[in-house]
Structure 1
Amino acid sequence: MRVSIASVSLMAVGAQAAKLSPTVQGMFDGHMGNMDQIFDSTAGYLYNFYYPLAAGPHETRSTVWYAAGLLQRNKGNDVKNAVRIINSVIDGQFKNKEDQWYGDYQKYPEEPTVGTAAYEPSIYDTWDPNWRGFIGSALMIIYEEFGHLIGKNVQHTIAESLYNNSIGDSYRVGGVDNDNLYPAYSNPSLMRAVVSGWAGRKFNDKNMTAAGEMYAQEIISLFNINDTLSEFNVPTYYGVSLSALTLWAKYMPASSVMAKNGPRMIEDIWTAFGDFYNARLQNLAGPWDRTYGWDMNKYVAIMSLYIWSIAGRDHVFSSSEKPWLLAHADDGEFVPIVSILSSFHNTLVPASVVARLKSFGRSERIVHRHAYSPPFDHQVRNITSWLSEKITIGGDSYNQTVVGGASKDSNSFSPAIAHWYRDATKLQNSSVGYFSLHPSEKSLKASVGPHWLNLTYPAGNASSVFTFAVSSNPLGGTRDVTGLASINGVSISIGEGSNVDPTPKVSFCGLMGGDCSPIHNFEFWNLTFTMPAKTTALPQLNLRFDIKA
């Protein structure tokens, strides 16, 4: 379908690439070099870095991020390759208005046709509705920042694609057709609002513009309850949300509710992040609503990329100089987006937060916050974390409709976790240990204080268990974990008031074997505490954590 832009200039505001600080330029150059190596110039797509054993398929979303990076770099054939990518990706956009996935984009160009007998539609599998937001917001950045490079015809192609993208995204209703998009699903909600508001204005479509504004107001109203996103304390998706809010603040007109609220929301998110961040451990203290790992030194979280852009390379990924050796390394392909937006976004980060990204400081602290994710939360979640230089402990008290929280994923919801520093003088290398509760109940009461974590299941019974994912000991440490006493670097004891069997069942979840599989490519020891048979008491486990002398 062809649509016409009415009374809107096609040219972007700027006339040159974003100016990058030396720190950001170094991050950008390194990651673009990595992406150059997996760019297939014949196909015009990046290979799928997340599935390196998949024998050759390409991947769409990261390729669009790469296109933005090519335009920022603008050397040799970069612009030509970027334009080719843009046209190819938009040519593969789904075009049947009757389909639930209309206006979305192929996950990879070789995939079968979604909706055929051999490739039946499965939301988040054969097609991903969030990719409208990921790809749409990247195309918006390309349009706004690099119009002088791509020309009016390509700009029009992008604008038309985002118009169709927004129509398709309007099909999404939480709880209908297996979709989970509510305002509480923060990162795709923020992207949906800005793409719709932007495309509506470009085509003078008052209904689409109003839809974007109304949806943004729903997000803002929910945010204002606790001055935080519903998708709270998330090392990866905070980064996506911050990029979307930067588009709110940078590209929307002053009359938009998004432009009015975006900067404040960015500042509030960073304030919360600074409260929970431990620069010595280089980790965001838990609990986490969603995570792709238990130690930010071992996987690429998008917030680590933001920290790199603000505080410098020395303050992230301390365990590896090679990002591709980390788990979830494909999120490093988001670097072009972080880099291009950095000169605007980084001015909105409070100076007090920047200081906390660089140094823990001298004083320990207890942080109390609240978050709320309707319709999955029966009530506001109460979150408490205690942070000291070498130990952090966090817990989340909640009453939810489903195990795993709003993401419905018990592998990514971490409602209680402790981290500790493992000193290099005692072992071969310094590192971080973790002890994370794997959720198995719809409700939890968690209390946290200096060195202690108390957990109770308000609706638990004799069949309840407390299961923890525990880090493997590092080289030079105890090879086999047989119980709490053999966890290196920390002394963990069961406190008074606990009514579990104090001897946990122990198993190993390994890459090469064991009783269970890794989670998010993290090997771990599984320690499970059970209740006495036929007990009528509510399950309770009280733990104390101290650094071993």
Structure 2
Amino acid sequence: MTQPMVKKMSEEQQHLVMQSMDMMDRFYDEEFGLLRSSGEESSAHGTRGSAHYALGLLIRQKSGDVERAVRVLHKVLDYQYDAPEEIYHGTFATQSTDEHPPAGHYAWKSFAPGTAYFLERTFEKVSEAFIHKLQEENNLLKEEADVKQLRQLFYASVHGVLPPVWISYDPNWREFIACVCAIASAAFSELLPDALIQRMDEAMERAVQGSVDRRLSDAIPMNTNIELMHIFITHYYGHRLKRADWMQHADEQAEGLLHEFEQYGGTFAEFNTTTYYGVDLAVLGMFRRYAFTERMTEIAHRLEHGLWNNIALYYNAKLENLSGPFARAYDMEMREHSSIGVFLYLLLGKGYEHLTGMNCESGHDPMIALLGIDVPAEAVPYFQAHQGDRLVQKQFLELCERDDPKANRNLCTASAWIGENRMMGAMSGSRNTNGQMHPATIHWQTETGERYYLRLIRRETGGDWNSHLRGITFEAEVTPDSLNIDVQLDTAEEIEVYFEIKGPSIRHQDIQPERWELPGLTCTVKAEAPEPTMLMYTDYAEIIYRYVPGKSENRMRFELGISD
């Protein structure tokens, strides 16, 4: 009997596998055959997380693990959508409780690129025109609550007929689950029954074809992490299933991505992003281990080393974090919603276990342990110790996934000042509607080791920052002791532009309109903006500047002078 994969791994790799599997074991529902989505009593079960769990079981191979993995993979495949004419063909329900997306009303293959964008914009305009007519002609909808309720009813009706991306289905589940199936078939085929191997191959034929159709139509653009997965699964299954058209497609896509990456000195459209860089590194590891051709291996090698050099450039070893600005980010802390700390632990080894704390990405850890790392020698010192204060600047060509495909690529500049105990980031050129774009950031640490961050974000009043909002742009610039930001607001919505400051012992009385006396940092503020209001929470504060259309100037400017 062959030795389990985990027994062949380094101490660091084994730590990642066992820690992650202990967590996922607690969420496994023996009766249902999948992981509960959240909490041990959840009624919903997730497909992507369960697929990663199955891969972890194949790596660990404790008694009963292989049999459980087989069951889980069969169960995940049960949730694939088999609908060849629909835009969601070959993807998977994200949760066991998802309703099947509407079918039969969306001839998406015959539409132009950017279909999802144009439909969304059209429905927005129809909704606003409909509400306006009710208000003006029938003297109805006097209350804002009535307007919001009617808008919700309108969109609910639309979404019951046409499948709204990200609402009724997630197209990216094709790529995520296909990557797991590829690794399972490449590394563990001798452990899996022939019936499961055959079923996975049949399911992957649907998934890859759906992914290729999506890419060729450009109906829903692919961000970098999805683009990399798309190329990998098309390459892998093209060779595995002897599909010459997929092989050619993957080769062309890889060459195009490499050209764009190197055009601006080695940058992805999804630039400086802790969450998605973790996915990128994992997929490049898949190429390193399982690519079929020398050229594909070479391309992945150049991308992987270039990506590590970018991470090193914006990394602060003292703060153990990446500096902003972030093209896309959920959190300002690298160890939240990210696997970057896991990769760094594999590089740095014993003593850095704290970088591997559990977060929502930890289900990927067994896969990362299996794939390993390939860090270029010149990048390694940046992760071991601070390599001197520096002002860094990189350009990248962003992707605005919800904009007109003829105008959804913009040349951006991500600038950062990285000192030993403080780093700041500033973004210029971006026109992204995504709230995950963080245009102005500060991270710092006090003499006693307490860590803080500041970020500028926006939200519709009463809404959430992690949303798509049109007509709001930021232009920021940074020096070692200043951070200046211009905000343009060309929108009919009421918007809150606000600084979020997070860390211990922040006091209301220390934050005044023109001076913020924060632990370890003093910030003088010149603001051309409405008078701010402030909200205090347990460990963070919000300094809010509210834009009201017709009453406020549609431009704000902030000049922050920074001293330690």
TM bucket normalised to smaller = 0.7 to 0.9
1:125 Cα shift? 2.3
1:355 aligns with 2:381: yes
Calculate the TM-score normalised by the size of structure 2: 0.78
Pick closer, same or farther for the CA change 1:308–1:527 going to 2, 3 Å. Answer: farther
In the alignment, residue 263 of structure 1 is paired with which amino acid? Answer: H
For 1:486-505, what aligned pairs fall within 5 Å after superposition? 486-494=517-525, 500=528, 505=532
1:279 Cα shift? 1.7
Determine the C-alpha separation between the residues in 2 that align with 1:190 and 1:397. Answer: 26
For residues 74-110 of structure 1, the C-alpha deviation after alignment (integer angstroms, 9 at most, x for no partner) is 0111000001111111132111212211111121223
Partner residue, 2:455: 436
In the alignment, residue 339 of structure 1 is paired with which amino acid? Answer: A
- Kept after mapping to 2: 8 A contact 1:481/1:525: no
- Kept after mapping to 1: 8 A contact 2:334/2:340: no
For 1:139-218, what aligned pairs fall within 5 Å after superposition? 139-173=181-215, 177=219, 179-181=220-222, 185-218=223-256
Q: 1:22 aligns with which of 11, 35, 48?
A: 11
Greater share of helix: 2
For residues 445-487 of structure 1, the C-alpha deviation after alignment (integer angstroms, 9 at most, x for no partner) is 32222122222358989x9999333224414x52666434343
1:72 aligns with 2:97: no
Pick closer, same or farther for the CA change 1:119–1:248 going to 2, 3 Å. Answer: farther
SS in 2 for 1:172: helix
Determine the C-alpha separation between the residues in 1 that align with 2:289 and 2:398. Answer: 27
In the alignment, residue 221 of structure 2 is paired with which amino acid? Answer: N
In the alignment, residue 311 of structure 1 is paired with which amino acid? Answer: L
Q: 1:219 aligns with which of 257, 264, 268?
A: 257
- Kept after mapping to 2: 8 A contact 1:228/1:265: no
Select between 153-162 and 264-273 the one with higher mean Cα deviation: 153-162
Partner residue, 2:136: none
Partner residue, 2:397: 372
For residues 214-255 of structure 1, the C-alpha deviation after alignment (integer angstroms, 9 at most, x for no partner) is 222222222121212110000010111111122223212225
In the alignment, residue 249 of structure 1 is paired with which amino acid? Answer: R
Partner residue, 1:543: 560
- Kept after mapping to 2: 8 A contact 1:282/1:315: no
Determine the C-alpha separation between the residues in 2 that align with 1:523 and 1:100. Answer: 42
In the alignment, residue 240 of structure 1 is paired with which amino acid? Answer: V
Partner residue, 2:35: 46
1:160 Cα shift? 2.2
Determine the C-alpha separation between the residues in 2 that align with 1:122 and 1:465. Answer: 25
Gaps of 5+ in 2: 104-156, 400-404, 459-468
- Kept after mapping to 2: 8 A contact 1:286/1:395: yes
SS in 1 for 2:398: coil
Determine the C-alpha separation between the residues in 1 that align with 2:430 and 2:360. Answer: 34
Pick closer, same or farther for the CA change 1:237–1:285 going to 2, 3 Å. Answer: same
In the alignment, residue 46 of structure 1 is paired with which amino acid? Answer: L
Pick closer, same or farther for the CA change 1:24–1:454 going to 2, 3 Å. Answer: same
In the alignment, residue 189 of structure 1 is paired with which amino acid? Answer: E
Q: 1:478 aligns with which of 507, 511, 529?
A: 507
Determine the C-alpha separation between the residues in 2 that align with 1:453 and 1:38. Answer: 44
1:38 Cα shift? 0.9
SS in 1 for 2:484: strand
Partner residue, 2:347: 310
SS in 2 for 1:433: strand
Partner residue, 1:8: none
Runs of 4+ in structure 1 deviating by more than 6 angstroms, as ranges, are 116-120, 458-461, 463-466, 533-538
Gaps of 5+ in 1: 1-13, 324-328, 425-429, 512-521
SS in 2 for 1:471: strand
- Kept after mapping to 1: 8 A contact 2:477/2:483: yes
Q: 2:371 aligns with which of 332, 335, 341?
A: 341
1:119 Cα shift? 6.8
Determine the C-alpha separation between the residues in 2 that align with 1:115 and 1:414. Answer: 35
1:241 aligns with 2:280: yes
- Kept after mapping to 2: 8 A contact 1:65/1:138: yes
Determine the C-alpha separation between the residues in 2 that align with 1:340 and 1:210. Answer: 28
Partner residue, 2:111: none
Pick closer, same or farther for the CA change 1:64–1:509 going to 2, 3 Å. Answer: farther
For 1:248-267, what aligned pairs fall within 5 Å after superposition? 248-255=287-294, 257-267=295-305
SS in 2 for 1:100: coil
Give the root-mean-square deviation of aligned CA atoms: 3.2
